[in-house]
């Protein structure tokens, strides 16, 4: 009897997938639950396992794009290998009895937790535990990725783990991810002991090359892709030589092999041209490197285009004399650091100035919700941070109520978590106004794009000494250009310009920040 295997449903928004590669060939004999191919969607890569044992007949070739439910392959169960269940029957009865004696009979079903209002699906990045292993309550067993953040999944009970969703699988919120067969405390060490024959079998299986040898897990593949490193150049330390996330993070890109171009004697032209084409020197590369966009990059791209298309975005500019703030920092930065154990940066001055200006001009702190304008009496300031996976925007809550040292500590905390990929969804949601600093990369002037659904964003730039006129005399001052991009549907020119002028006044006379005038 032949079993038809079809493309599984992998999420509400996904209607088609592409066959990335077959790990088995047409006509091969496969075992039940053995990985036979990899499928790719626009959000994730996931593995397909055999639903039965038998002879494989491939219906869709590598590179084919299939709709959900389309026939992927068939398995002839009549040609399943004889004695498939023999290994299970040969397991020591004493070991089985020991496991059954520790089980309580209760099974805990773990489902994908809710991680944010706007997120309806996640991808299994990697499992830190294997199916069949014993886990403890609150122990980290997997890493899960959304299009905004990575977070850890912890065990909800002590017991034996049964993995339902493999690495790379995309699941909806509330979908079943794994089961735990609950045991009492005494059974936790049972899987560690095994007979000598079992040890020999496991060691021989580990030394044997399998499909996993040299194959990168989805999380590792994503890291290698971002680094531009081929999986063939990395040695895997996982089971059967599988490339783990740690292997990918530790991998370094080797120098590209340079292809030597052999010099050929040029044919003598009939008539010598006025200019000859330049000779390409040996070792010069004209190669290209194509990389798939990450889920985070796709989401950022989609949101930026949406903002440009759906808002009436304008940008107004002004310049700020940073001399007073620089003098203040120079005078007090050492004592500030000694007392508060954090440096005194420009971000605290800009955050305080913006929160005071937002309270004077509340439309800049508002947002549109349908046919209503929502005004907030608090200032949750988002700060743009460049992280390894792309731009993220964590939020400083109630920034208007924080002191200079509290703002600086919060900036350091959020930026560190962003660079380590440890930001939670709550830490990136709900801002009312954004500040971005392109000056740290040398930007002189820019028109930042609004962080929807907010209505305005302030762009900081580099500080350059420029000649300015003061009281009829030309003097040199450290000047920064500042830009405010705003949604003209809700913010008029009077409010946007007045807001930026107010920020300029507060920054050029920092005493105003302390006195609140």
- From the list 147, 240, 492, 509, the catalytic residue is 492
Cβ pair 248, 220 in contact under 8 A: yes
Residue keyed to tokens 């030589």: 241
Q: Is 488 one of the catalytic residues?
A: yes
Distance CA 18, CA 407 (A): 47
Distance CA 19, CA 7 (A): 10
Is residue 181 within a helix (H) or strand (E), and if so which, with residue range? strand 176-183
Cβ pair 231, 243 in contact under 8 A: yes
**For residue 474, which phi and psi values (nearest 5 degrees)?**
-85, 125
- Of 59, 56, 37, nearest to 47 by C-alpha is 37
Distance CA 209, CA 73 (A): 25
Residue 314 C-alpha from the chain's centroid: 30
- Torsion on CA atoms 257, 258, 264, 266, rounded to nearest 10: 150
Q: Is 461 one of the catalytic residues?
A: no
Contacts of 85 (CB under 8 A, 6+ apart): none
- From the list 26, 33, 67, 488, the catalytic residue is 488
DSSP 113: P
Distance CA 410, CA 52 (A): 54
Q: Is 242 strand, coil or helix?
A: coil
- Catalytic machinery residues: 488, 492
């Amino acid at each position: 009897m032949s079993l038809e295997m079809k493309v599984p449903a992998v999420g509400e928004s996904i209607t088609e997938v592409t066959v990335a590669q077959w790990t088995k060939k047409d006509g091969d004999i496969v075992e039940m639950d053995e990985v036979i191919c990899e499928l790719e969607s626009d959000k994730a890569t996931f593995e397909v396992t055999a639903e039965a044992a038998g002879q494989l007949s491939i219906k869709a070739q590598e590179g084919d794009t299939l709709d959900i439910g389309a026939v992927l392959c068939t398995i002839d169960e009549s040609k399943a290998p004889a004695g498939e269940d023999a290994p299970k029957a040969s397991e020591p009865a004493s070991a089985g009895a020991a496991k059954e004696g520790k089980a309580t009979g209760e099974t805990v079903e773990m489902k994908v937790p809710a991680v944010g209002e706007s997120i309806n699906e996640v991808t299994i990045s990697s499992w830190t535990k294997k199916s069949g292993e014993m886990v403890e309550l609150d122990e980290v067993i997997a890493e899960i990725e959304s299009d905004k953040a990575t977070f850890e999944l912890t065990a909800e009970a002590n017991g034996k783990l049964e993995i339902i969703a493999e690495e790379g699988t995309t699941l909806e919120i509330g979908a079943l991810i794994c089961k735990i067969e609950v045991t009492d405390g005494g059974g936790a060490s049972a899987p560690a002991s095994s007979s000598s024959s079992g040890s020999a079998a496991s060691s021989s299986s580990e030394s044997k090359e399998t499909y996993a040898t040299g194959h990168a897990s989805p999380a590792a593949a994503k890291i290698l892709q971002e680094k531009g490193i081929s999986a063939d150049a990395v040695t895997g330390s996982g089971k059967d030589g599988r490339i783990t996330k740690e292997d990918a993070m530790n991998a370094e890109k080797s120098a590209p092999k340079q292809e030597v171009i052999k010099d050929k004697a040029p044919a003598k032209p009939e008539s010598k041209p006025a200019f000859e084409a330049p000779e390409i020197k040996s070792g010069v590369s004209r190669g290209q490197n194509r990389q798939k966009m990450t889920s985070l990059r796709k989401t950022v791209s989609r949101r930026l285009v949406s903002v440009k298309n759906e808002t009436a975005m304008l940008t107004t500019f002004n310049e700020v004399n940073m001399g007073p703030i620089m003098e203040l920092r120079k005078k007090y930065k050492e004592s500030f650091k000694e007392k508060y154990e954090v440096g005194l940066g420009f971000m605290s001055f800009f955050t305080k100035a913006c929160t005071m200006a937002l309270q004077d001009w509340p439309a800049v702190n508002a947002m549109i919700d349908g046919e209503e304008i929502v005004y907030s009496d608090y200032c949750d300031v988002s700060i743009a941070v460049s992280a390894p996976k792309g731009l993220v925007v964590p939020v400083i809550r109630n920034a208007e109520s924080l002191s200079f040292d509290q703002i600086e500590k919060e900036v350091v905390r959020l930026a560190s978590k962003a660079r380590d990929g440890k930001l939670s969804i709550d830490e990136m949601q709900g801002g009312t106004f954004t500040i971005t600093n392109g000056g740290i990369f040398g930007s002189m002037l820019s028109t930042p794009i609004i962080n929807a659904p907010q209505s305005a964003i302030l762009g900081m730039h580099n500080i350059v000494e420029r000649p300015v006129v003061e009281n009829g005399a030309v003097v040199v001052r450290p000047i920064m250009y500042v830009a405010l991009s705003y949604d003209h549907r809700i913010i008029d020119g009077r409010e946007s310009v007045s807001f930026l002028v107010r920020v300029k006044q507060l920054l050029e006379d920092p005493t105003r920040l302390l006195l609140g005038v």
